Amino acid sequence: MVEAPQTEEGWFALHDFRSIDWDAWREAPERERRRAIEEGEAFLRDRERVADADEGDSGLFSVVGHKADLLFVHFRPSLDHLSSIERRFEDTAMARFTERTTSYVSVTEVSGYVSDEYFEDGPEEIDEGLRRYIEGKLTPEIPDDEYVCFYPMSKRRGEEYNWYDLDFEDRAELMAGHGEVGKEYAGKIKQVIASSVGLDDHEWGVTLFGADPTDIKDIVYEMRFDPASSRYGEFGDFYIGRRFPPADLGAYLAGETVPAGEADGEDAHAGHAHGEGNHHGDDGHGGRGEGRDRAGAGGGSAHGDHPHGEEAASGEGDHPHGEEATGGEEATGEGDDGVSDEAIRGELADLDIYAGKPHGEDVYATVLYSEADVDELFDEVEGLRGNFDHYGTHVKTAVYEGRHTDRAAVVSIWDTASAAETAAGFLSELPGIVARAGEESGFGTMGMFYTVKPDYREEFGDTFDEVGEILAEMDGHVETDLMSNVEDENDMFIASQWAAKEDAMAFFGSDEFRETVEWGREVLADRPRHVFLA
């Protein structure tokens, strides 16, 4: 008998497609419509808050075309939770104006195609980055304000091509090749693959998220030419839509464009029970410089679990381990100690310290550290960055070399949180990755970007050494290093790690820091940016 890959299951998923009875809606009295909107908003808002379970996620989408008008997507720990959600909606006044056109039930999973070590050694024994990547697959988060595409698929069981007759090694090789196609969409497409074997009519449900619907079209189109799809893929109906907040339900029913605008955070995308730890970032200075003429390769697939390609899958089972991206200016996440990024920025502002919120920009950053040779690391990053630069959401990706430590930092800045999150998964496969910002300390990393006037670069480094001596004596200080962009030595990134928020704030409020900032006004090419990264 052909070997079946092992699987690990996570959250159950319900894709609930609804059509609106527009005739009944138009004929209903105003008070009934108002009640329907209020109860519909309340139901959907509570689902996004995950008021019905300890963890999970939900999202509301408009659907374009005749097959449905609305799509509710729910991820929950059990089928019983999903069953409860279905019945609760039927109790709302909104339900009488809708009819379910179809639905899809599945469960998120990872398989032996992703990592042999995960199943052989257990989740506690594998690399932290790989474990985090797998957890993200099993407990996915729905991106905010993104287009969505959903379709079911199965693997063919025909006379000539039968997926289930292939050896494991042959299937793994096909999955690896399929994943290579998805590399080109790093930062553009996020996907959730959920198994529906024994749960629904097809074998998997595929949900793609992207800021541009043409990216969704392009990746599906290119995948069709890969043997894993052309020979072995069978697909059901496709649905396309756009996420909008529950507060816009009335606007949607009135025929207005949704999302209607920046909604109240209370209604729009309330904190997800499983993902409160988004981290703030900022765009630094410099970018892709001309200092090195290098080319490299690296990365992984933005479009792969098992049925539809691995994220940089290989036949040997060595696959990328994605890091959680740092959040952006719109996020109000909390660190591991419950300290919100917004509170940190507010306290920095009270100290008259610029907190890294550039005017008119909403950017998202991820920072990873590597102990690999910096030249080798740069070559790999350059290869990935060549792909990243194809996307309008990419702001900057750069390698910074440490002054006093043996490790380097890879900083990647994006316009959207989902793009930064996807990029983090690719970057975490870089050689020698040991941690992301904040993992080494109880509080996290205060990241500070500087562009120094060339004539003052060495003096700036000497001053940093003097400040470093002061830091070494301060309570709660873990480590601080001055890191220089390998393509632009005047572009510097200070990564300062602290055990507690109070310790970090004590430094930023000290006379020594204020004196350094005052001196810096003479030597910096532009305003420094202090960024709470973790």
User: CB–CB of 274/141 below 8 Å?
Assistant: yes
DSSP-H helix ranges across 146-226: 168-182, 213-224
Cα 36 from Cα 246, distance rounded (Å):
12
Read off the DSSP letter of residue 337.
Answer: T
Q: Which residues are catalytic?
A: 151
- Phi first, then psi, for residue 525 (nearest 5°) are -75, -30
The bridge status of strand 477-485 relative to strand 433-436 is unpaired
290 burial class (0-12, 13-18, 19+ CB within 10 angstroms)?
exposed
User: CB–CB of 450/460 below 8 Å?
Assistant: yes
Residue with tokens 């029913």: 253
Cα 134 from Cα 512, distance rounded (Å):
44
| Residue 297 DSSP SS3 | coil
Cα 384 from Cα 302, distance rounded (Å):
12
For the chain, give me the number of helices (H) and strands (E)? 15, 17
Cα 173 from Cα 315, distance rounded (Å):
5
Cα 60 from Cα 484, distance rounded (Å):
44
Q: Output Rg (C-alpha) for the chain, integer angstroms.
A: 24
Nearest to residue 401, comparing CAs of 486, 316, 300, 284?
486
| Residue 313 DSSP SS3 | coil
Q: Which two tokens stand for residue 506?
A: 């004590």
Cα 344 from Cα 215, distance rounded (Å):
36
Cα 364 from Cα 470, distance rounded (Å):
31
| Residue 102 DSSP SS3 | strand
Q: Which residues of 109-131 are buried (b: 16+ CB within 10 A; e: fewer)?
A: bbbbbbbbbbbeeeeeebeebbb
Nearest to residue 234, comparing CAs of 313, 149, 137, 161?
161
Count of CB atoms within 10 A of residue 26's CB?
8
